[in-house]
Amino acid sequence: MRVLSRRHLLAAAGAAMGAGVLSSCSGVAGSAGGGGGGNAGRSVRYAFWGNNVRQENYQAAFDEMADELPDINLELEFAEYNAYRERMTTQMAAQNVADVFWVPSPDVLTYHANGLFRRVDDLETLDLSDFSEDDIRDFELQGELNTVPFGIHVPVVRYNRTFADEDGVELPDEWDWNDLAEIARDYTNNNSHGRKALSYRVDHDHSVQNWLRQHGEQLWSEDGGLGFTAETLAEWIAYWENLRQAGATTTVSEQDGVEPSWTDIGDSILLHLGNANHAIDEADMFPDFDFGLKHPPIAPDAPEGFRFLYMPRMAVYANAADEVLEPAGEVLSYCINNTTMLRHVGLTMGTPINPRVAEEYREFASDIELEMLEVGEADRAATRDPVYESPPGASEWRVTLRRVVEGIINGETGISDGAQQIVDEVQRNIDRAS
């Protein structure tokens, strides 16, 4: 299984879009011929996003599903992430959404507010027998089981083990944010290869969430508003600005923007904050290096429940025809309960939501996937306070953050004023949407 980086993904998808390709294909059915061989009453439209490699891997997985569920005709609708979100907006207006679809994280509550989700707890063909009552409660959205998670994302610090070995660096198993800053400055100043310790990672959503939760706040509140203050956000921005000004991170120019381009810096930095699942794509881009994962630093006074899991979701369209519901439940069950499927698609969408599947997948996992499983299972076992989805109107908060941080870097605004500007602008967008 080979994968592409996010930047390569966008480039490839852009080329495809320029050629008029926004995939809608039916290649999985009860006959070898593809879309024409299934029982018409058992057809299910399935929409998801990614790059061309993900499309190929899921196609292979669903081809194998056809052997187990031969009377389901699965019609795949596929696009690059941004194009997928645009298409969903168009399909929502036309009331022509796919029967089963992936839900982009910024749009969960927006789709919910627009009535896109059908409850799934009454689908007789949806098998949730591997999950505990606590698991099911974690899956609920505003008290309803109306989506099905299919992976787990957790924040990590990814490190280049090859560089660490070459430069005699030993990273601690337990560390706080001051430890990370000290290691970053020391490594940048003393390694003999001209490497920087860190990418400038002020905009990574799960790392921002992690910082806020460690300081008694979080991104979003239970009632659909902001869950953080400008003061705590300013502390996060100041942390990165101090490191950047000390030369311990890549410059915005070196990493091609406030959002770092891994293609530009992946072979020249020791440490990178990100999602555990992103390590699969991005490690593959630099096969000469060995990468490892560590839990992020922890603030000394972090509350016990600060750890969190972000779970990407699948949904059944609220207006799906009655005859679709039975096969839709079978498709959902296959996606979350089948280890064979993961042998095709891997862990690029996170560690398995099903604990039995996670354990079974160890037999096939790569070294970096095994580390993903370890980190994910540790966070899953920890005490965790609830985490809330972004409210309608807040989906572009990272765009606002990057723009304001660019102004801070360029000296156009101060950190405190910039943090307050972010809070005010995001709040206005939430107010407009409500």
Give the domains, in start order, of the chain with CATH numbers.
6-150+313-378 (3.40.190.10), 155-307+396-433 (3.40.190.10)
278 within 8 A of 205, measured Cβ to Cβ: no
Question: Contacts for 187-195 with beta carbons within 8 Å, 24 or more apart?
Answer: 187/248, 187/270, 188/246, 188/247, 188/248, 189/247, 191/163, 191/167, 191/270, 192/167, 193/163, 193/166, 193/167, 195/163, 195/167, 195/268, 195/269, 195/270
Which of 178, 176, 180 lies closest to 158, judged by CA?
Answer: 180
pLDDT score, position 28: 52
Q: Would you write out the chain's pLDDT as a tens digit for each of its 434 residues?
A: 333 333 333 333 333 333 333 444 444 544 333 333 344 448 999 999 999 999 999 999 999 999 999 999 999 999 999 999 999 999 999 999 999 999 999 999 999 999 999 999 999 999 999 999 999 999 999 899 999 999 999 999 999 999 999 999 999 999 999 999 999 999 999 998 999 999 999 999 999 999 999 999 999 999 999 999 999 999 999 999 999 999 999 999 999 999 999 999 999 999 999 999 999 889 999 999 999 999 999 999 999 999 999 999 999 999 999 999 999 999 999 999 999 999 999 999 999 999 999 999 999 999 999 999 999 999 999 999 999 999 999 999 999 999 999 999 999 999 999 999 999 999 999 999 98
Rounded CA gap, 30 and 28, in Å?
7
Identity (one letter) of the amino acid at 339? Answer: T
Strands, DSSP E only, in 21-69? 24-28, 43-49
Bridge-based pairing state of the strands 73-79 and 43-49: parallel
Dihedral pair phi/psi, residue 124, rounded to 5°: -65, -25
pLDDT score, position 434: 84
3-state secondary structure of 290: coil
The end-to-end CA distance of the chain, in Å, is 43
160 within 8 A of 291, measured Cβ to Cβ: yes
Distinct helix (H) and strand (E) counts, the chain:
17, 10
136 within 8 A of 336, measured Cβ to Cβ: no
pLDDT score, position 281: 87
Residues contacting residue 376 through CB under 8 Å, at least 6 positions apart: 152, 154, 276, 309, 350, 351, 358
DSSP state at residue 42: G
Rounded CA gap, 255 and 199, in Å?
7
**Which H or E run contains 196?**
strand 196-198
CA 287 to chain centroid, in Å, comes to 23
